[in-house]
Amino acid sequence: MEQIIFATKNKGKIKEVKSILHEFEIISMEEACVAVEVIEDGKTFTENAIKKATEISKITGKITMADDSGLEIDFLDKKPGVYSARYLGENTPYIEKNNHILHLMENVPEQKRSARFVCAIATAFPNGKIVTTQSTIEGLIAHEIKGENGFGYDPIFFVPEKGKTTAELSPEEKNAISHRGKALKKMKELLAKEGEISH
Ligand code: IMP
């Protein structure tokens, strides 16, 4: 089975990726013993994903997939956006980040609470080839924190069609509709079509 490094240190993400790309042997940076820090200084999710995948692939000589994702809140001019992980400081607990956003959105009416999770994925091959995909999930900023599943901003991201936040969905339910789930599935199809990876 083809080994692919997935360039993230986020344990919540790795769990989702392994479950969605179960046909491949996905190895985390930790499992691949790669400890480099790639600076995410791109202006877009795609730029950051390409940078991470390319740098790790160059170091390891292996096929490397990376994602860059985040939450865009329309009322906050699409913030936190590409800075989602660093919003209010990288080490600030998400309970604080989420409460801060709920506070900023306190009296904002339903029709102005639109938001989306965005996920860009890049796969870099040792020969320099790069394949990218992007996907989103639309939702609303909730009025209170709800749910224990997922990670990050999941407890405040309400999906109207489900009547739940993404933190209230089971991992399978979330993966079926999420930005990351859809972008990874697109990537799987693209790689299969191009005959790049066998499994
Ligand atoms: P990245 O590791 O630079 O892609 O940072 C993405 C950040 O966006 C995460 O640390 C979370 O704050 C947020 N984020 C991305 N995807 C999700 C998700 O599925 N649920 C909740 N938060 C997410």
How many angstroms separate the CA atoms of 8 and 52, rounded? 9
Is 41 part of the annotated catalytic residue set?
A: no
For residue 67, which of 23, 16, 141, 2 has the smallest C-alpha distance? 16
Give me the catalytic one of 41, 67, 68, 154: 68
| Residue ranges in the chain modelled with pLDDT below 70 | 1, 195-199
Query: Rounded to two decimals, what is the model's pTM?
Result: 0.92
Distance separating alpha carbons of residues 10 and 18, to the nearest angstrom: 12
Report pLDDT for 112.
98
The pLDDT of residue 197 = 66
**Non-local CB neighbours of 175 within 8 Å, separated by 6+ positions:** 16, 19, 20, 181
85: which residues sit within 8 A by CB, 6+ positions away?
70, 152
Q: What are phi and psi of 86, to 5 degrees?
A: -95, 0
Q: Is the CB of 154 under 6 A from ligand 1?
A: yes
For residue 45, what are the CA distances in angstroms to 3, 42, 57, 78, 118?
24, 7, 18, 13, 8
Other CB atoms within 10 Å distance of the CB of residue 27: 19
**What are the structure tokens assigned to 99, written together?**
């409460």
> Which is the closest atom of ligand 1 to the Cα of 82?
3
